[in-house]
Structure 1
């Protein structure tokens, strides 16, 4: 099975002129040696660096495609397939990989406690070590990879006790703190129609490496309305989103 990583270009420029959109494959990531032992499971991008998790959860690989620098990171205990990872840095942007950190979010059922528990670990390239971080009073869950903006990571999250309630969850790699930010829409769908978690879709993406965008769609039999917002201001404590379109 081919698990190589390529850069891609998706061209939608002519979609309003009846031009069929297309996708091009660019250069292949050459920092990772071709090996049956390095089958890629998932990737996370942060301003030029790529974090790859591997099938079998043996290790994490972080590489810089521009200069070929590659780091292999072993787990503190063990990795799980359901783990979520984020890559970020403290302070201002730096080309030095030693200023970067990896956040690991692990959620699993503890048979001894007879409940679901969450664990958070942080890896620092500078010290080449993992450490556990304490997160107080978290009552939320994230199930999809986040996006990186200015060195911090953002996800769409839901509350454990109310799956209808969505919000933006942020992690500040400098302060090593989570934050909750509001989404630019209400839980109700168009014309006050209530949606459920299977019909309500929100996706985050990044514009020009410095703006956060939110795509939201109501998947309901009465409407397939889709809206997109792009941030005017963004940090882990506040987000200002422009008008939807």
Structure 2
């Protein structure tokens, strides 16, 4: 019988291209030939093409301090089968407790719990970089992070960067890490507004957007809450961008992407529990245009509010539904993670995601598209 390692390269590529993404790590550790083959561009093109045929939506999810790859198929009539855990995505994550994860261009930035360094990796290629970092404040968990890249008109390659800042009543520190120089630099921070450490930024087309608020002491005219964007090419924050609503501190606001091209924002009022999801028609670091018609607007008939510090979500424009990740709404089941599927008709379905050992560890998800991006 012919051994797999002795197969012609084209045939070996064809066979290995059917291996699930989360099993690539095991394939590469099997033998040197497979490791070399799996890192060829021709194999990657075939493997990624095979994975995209009839594929469900892919999501990276941090749950119970681990990072998983999940597949979502809303065509499935069985609600419990709409979301499937494919396996752990990060090599070695079973040895590291992860407190936060961010995605950009196929790369993941994750922040280990109780660690002085952050980790940047490409789960598909297996590249990993450990970034040493010094914290000047004891409450290091209040630092905000973002992952993006610098665009170049002269080259197709992208220079990836990590932004880190902390705000209290104002910005007190702002630094950027450049993968090409493997070093941190201080930036001049903006003034007059702040981002809560629990407000996760959304990477879109190489830049990152946040929900932000003016300082309480700022009584000037204009919106009290808005979006802000950090432009990784210019290395600066842009001007405040308007929202299609005016939220209060107790309201839930969360950001998501649509086809890696548009931005969606979830807004739930704390008093009426009414839920809205708005989608942009144009989004750039210095300008935004919102669709004049709300994508989804429902009154939460079960009377519960999504968490202010979590509520990650994504939408399916074709099926007119949204999936929101949250803890169970029942007080006695606070360790239970749930995916809520909400239709534009007001329908609500629940998919059980299992328990967390820590009731304060929330399920956080972001869309994931594997790529060959290099950490150089």
The TM tier, using the shorter chain, reads: 0.7 to 0.9
In structure 1, list runs of 5 or more residues that go unmatched. 109-114, 188-195
For residues 41-77 of structure 1, the C-alpha deviation after alignment (integer angstroms, 9 at most, x for no partner) is 1111112110011111321001101101111100144
* Corresponding residue for residue 85 of structure 1: 145
Residues in 1 aligned to 2:164 and 2:290: alpha-carbon distance in whole angstroms: 28
Larger radius of gyration: 2
Map 1:1-245 → 2, pairs under 5 A = 3-13=65-75, 20=79, 22-32=82-92, 34-35=94-95, 38-77=96-135, 80-91=140-151, 99-108=159-168, 118-143=172-197, 144-161=199-216, 165-179=224-238, 180-187=240-247, 196-198=248-250, 200-220=251-271, 223-242=272-291, 243-245=293-295
Q: TM-score, normalised by structure 2?
A: 0.53
Residues in 2 aligned to 1:207 and 1:92: alpha-carbon distance in whole angstroms: 24
* Aligned partners of 1:84 and 1:145 also within 8 Å: yes
Residues in 1 aligned to 2:226 and 2:65: alpha-carbon distance in whole angstroms: 33
Any idea what SS the aligned residue of 1:81 has? helix
Say if 1:219 and 1:236 are closer, same or farther in 2 by CA, change over 3 A. Answer: same
Kindly indicate which of the two structures has a greater share of residues assigned to strand. Answer: 1
Residues in 1 aligned to 2:260 and 2:217: alpha-carbon distance in whole angstroms: 32
Range with greater deviation from structure 2 (224-233 or 204-213): 224-233
Deviation, 1:8, is 1.4
Q: Which has the bigger relative contact order, CA under 8 A and spacing at least 6?
A: 2
Deviation, 1:95, is 8.8
Any idea what SS the aligned residue of 2:79 has? coil
Any idea what SS the aligned residue of 1:5 has? strand
* Aligned partners of 1:141 and 1:160 also within 8 Å: no
Number of equivalences: 222
Deviation, 1:30, is 4.0
Kindly indicate which of the two structures has a greater share of residues assigned to helix. Answer: 2
Residues in 1 aligned to 2:128 and 2:252: alpha-carbon distance in whole angstroms: 35
In structure 2, list runs of 5 or more residues that go unmatched. 1-62, 296-376
Say if 1:135 and 1:160 are closer, same or farther in 2 by CA, change over 3 A. Answer: same
Say if 1:100 and 1:76 are closer, same or farther in 2 by CA, change over 3 A. Answer: same
